[in-house]
């Protein structure tokens, strides 16, 4: 997508290094970081310089390629990259994609193979999101008010986005789209990243406290909810940013369709239900502090789960790069591939 008139992806390979947009600086500053080693890539994922399931999938793929380029042990590199964050499936998928390409490769070709595989993966991922955009846009009327949670825009992917790709596609088709942007505590990716993306694309929107999503759904000011996903289990349960489950329940209470937009790399058929997916517990300081200001009482403790489980029964459809699928059909659709 364009930033100040120039096309960017969130992460890419350049010469002998991985480069990525530093998402910790947004929305106030746009900057690029250069990562020279696998550990740097792993740290960037762990510290959320890059975040969002498809984006960290591509970062993982590039990380393995970087290890291959430097003649390092790719299995060790893969292990280090896998250990950064436990919930998003795309991370493991992206890493495995490059490892699979290297299977049986001759040593002298492995550098070129690994880099090509990582580039192929990133290109596939960007294309998948673009396709998600077109399928998702087909669900939108000429005037549609979308509510979204967290950032599942192009910053969360290689390009285009998952939940926001349909917004961009529909807007470019000339539809009148308004977006309610959940600010998404504790890390405020909605306020910081989604509002920045929508400002760039000149799409009308309002940031709201997460608490206000229900209010606008109750008043029927929301036409549809679209969110991304970090992992989709075999039974169609969706693991996504903390708070997603609440939005899904409230959408159901108001008969507002609740969609999940995710590429096939997010599906994990090895998990029977969402309840068996590991939920990352992040540091309590993300809740107790906002920026440098402590908001909670001195001595108070916090709990900070980063994801939750939305049961399949609450999801109207999953928008994939191959079309819109009922969550109840996930097992059948993806087992065939």
Catalytically active residues, by annotation: 230
Q: Is there binding between residue 303 and a copy of itself (CB under 8 A)?
A: yes
Residues 136-165 as x/- pattern, contact with a copy of itself by CB under 8 A: ------------------------------
Which stretch in 70-78, 110-118, 140-148, 178-186 sits in contact with a copy of itself by CB under 8 A?
A: 178-186
Exposure on the CB side of residue 112, measured as CA atoms within 13 A: 5
| CA–CA distance, 335 with 327 (Å, rounded to integer) | 13
Q: Are 68 and 111 in contact (CB under 8 A)?
A: yes
Q: How far is the CB of 184 from a copy of itself (least distance, A)?
A: 7
Which stretch in 52-60, 136-144, 288-296, 323-331 sits in contact with a copy of itself by CB under 8 A?
A: 288-296
Q: Which residues pair with 19 in a beta bridge?
A: 12, 34
* Token pair listed for 39: 């550990």
Judged by CB under 8 A, the chain residues 211 through 270 that form the site for a copy of itself are: 211-216, 218, 241-243, 245-246, 249-250, 253
* Token pair listed for 325: 């699928």
Binding residue for a copy of itself, selected from 10, 195, 266, 320, defined by CB under 8 A = 195
Burial of 109 (0-12, 13-18, 19+ CB in 10 A): exposed
Q: Are 233 and 272 in contact (CB under 8 A)?
A: yes
Nearest CB to a copy of itself, comparing residues 6 and 28: 28
Judged by CB under 8 A, the chain residues 19 through 58 that form the site for a copy of itself are: 26-28
Nearest CB to a copy of itself, comparing residues 70 and 294: 294
Q: Are 37 and 70 in contact (CB under 8 A)?
A: yes
Alpha carbon distances (Å) from 291 to 181, 241, 286, 298: 20, 20, 9, 16
Residues that bind a copy of itself (CB under 8 A): 26-28, 180-181, 183-186, 188, 191-192, 195-196, 198-199, 205-216, 218, 241-243, 245-246, 249-250, 253, 279, 287-288, 290-291, 293-305, 308-309
């Amino acid at each position: 997508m364009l930033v100040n008139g120039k096309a960017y992806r969130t992460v890419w390979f350049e010469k002998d290094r991985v480069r990525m947009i530093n998402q910790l600086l947004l929305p106030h500053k746009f900057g690029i970081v250069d990562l020279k080693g696998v550990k740097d890539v792993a740290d960037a994922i762990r510290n959320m310089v890059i975040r969002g399931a498809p984006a960290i999938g591509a970062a993982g793929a590039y990380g393995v390629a970087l290890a291959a380029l430097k003649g390092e042990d790719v299995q060790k590199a893969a292990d280090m990259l896998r250990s950064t964050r436990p919930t998003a499936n795309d991370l493991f998928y992206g890493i495995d994609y490059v490892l699979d390409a290297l299977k049986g490769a001759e040593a002298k070709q492995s550098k070129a193979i690994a880099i090509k595989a990582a580039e192929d993966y990133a290109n596939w991922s960007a294309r998948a999101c673009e396709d998600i955009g077109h399928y998702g846009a087909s669900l939108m009327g000429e005037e549609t008010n979308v509510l979204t949670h967290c950032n599942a825009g192009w910053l969360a992917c290689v390009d285009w986005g998952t939940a926001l790709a349909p917004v961009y596609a529909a807007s470019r088709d000339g539809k009148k789209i308004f977006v309610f942007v959940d600010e998404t505590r504790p890390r405020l990716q909605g306020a910081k990243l989604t509002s920045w993306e929508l400002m760039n694309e000149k799409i009308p929107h309002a940031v709201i406290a997460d608490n206000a999503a229900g209010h606008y759904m109750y008043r029927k000011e929301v036409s549809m909810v679209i969110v991304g996903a970090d992992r989709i289990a075999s039974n169609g349960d969706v693991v996504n940013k903390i708070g997603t489950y609440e939005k899904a329940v409230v959408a159901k209470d108001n008969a507002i369709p609740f969609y999940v937009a995710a590429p096939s790399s997010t599906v994990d058929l090895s998990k029977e239900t969402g309840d068996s997916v590991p939920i990352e517990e992040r540091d309590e300081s993300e809740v107790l502090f906002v920026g440098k200001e402590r908001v909670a009482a001195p001595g108070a403790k916090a709990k900070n789960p980063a994801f939750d489980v939305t049961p399949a029964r609450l999801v109207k459809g999953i928008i994939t790069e191959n079309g819109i699928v009922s969550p109840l059909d996930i097992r059948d659709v993806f087992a065939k591939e």
